Amino acid sequence: MKKLALAFFTFHFSFFTLLAQTDSVNRNPVFTLVQQMPRYNGDITKFLTEHLAYPQAAMDKGVQGTVYVTFVVEKDGSLSGISIRQGLEHSLDSAAMACIRSMPKWIAGMRDGQKVRVQYSIPLQFNLPTIEPSSVNPATPPRIKN
């Protein structure tokens, strides 16, 4: 029975030593899921509509789709580590990153009542405007439907 207890103690001691080393190396871990996820302080749809520019080069090429941007919401609500998780085309990827960089501070995520760093991802949709067929008249330019 003592051998089992000693083995159990050794396992736990080793495990907690490993956790302590990990924590001492990384005092600011980045979480992916916390009790209270970070959130934008306002209407994120309105912000994205007003600040996400569709590059003319991508429109001319007919490129559309979703760019997935990932970033870390810091303890103070600022955004860092902004990168493209899944891109479409260079100009769209750059526009997506520029939009996220321009965002004001978010409300930080919380874990066990403490503000923590949280990795977050956002899909940004780029859709080409469509022309209403009923608006096509050779004498007037077509109306663009959003």
- Considering only CA atoms, give the Rg of the chain: 24
Question: What would the pLDDT profile of 94-115 be if each residue is shown by its tens digit?
Answer: 999 999 999 999 999 999 999 9
Q: What H or E segment, with its residue span, contains residue 65?
A: strand 65-73
Strand-pair partners of 84: 69
Residue 89 makes CB contacts below 8 A (sequence gap 6+) with 58, 61, 63
Tell me the residue type at 70: T
Cα–Cα dist 49/97, whole Å: 14
Residue 70 in any domain: the answer is: yes
CATH assignment at residue 96: 3.30.2420.10
Residue 18 in any domain: the answer is: no
Which among 80, 57, 52, 85 has a CA at the least distance from the CA of 70? 85
Residue 9 in any domain: the answer is: no
Q: What percent of the chain has pLDDT over 70?
A: 71
Residue 2 in any domain: the answer is: no
Tell me the residue type at 76: D
Residue 93 makes CB contacts below 8 A (sequence gap 6+) with 67, 84, 87
What average pLDDT score do residues 51-76 get? 96
Residue 41 makes CB contacts below 8 A (sequence gap 6+) with 77, 104, 105, 106, 107
- Examine the pLDDT at 32 and tell me if it is beyond 90: yes
Residue 46 in any domain: the answer is: yes
**Number of separate domains in the chain:** 1
* CB-CB neighbours of 64 under 10 Å: 16
Q: Which two tokens stand for residue 57?
A: 């080069």
Domain that holds residue 122: 29-128
Question: What would the pLDDT profile of 109-135 be if each residue is shown by its tens digit?
Answer: 999 999 999 999 999 999 998 866 665
Cα–Cα dist 85/74, whole Å: 19
- Examine the pLDDT at 6 and tell me if it is beyond 50: no
Residue 83 in any domain: the answer is: yes
Give the pLDDT confidence score for residue 83 in this predicted structure: 97
Residue 141 in any domain: the answer is: no
Residue 75 in any domain: the answer is: yes
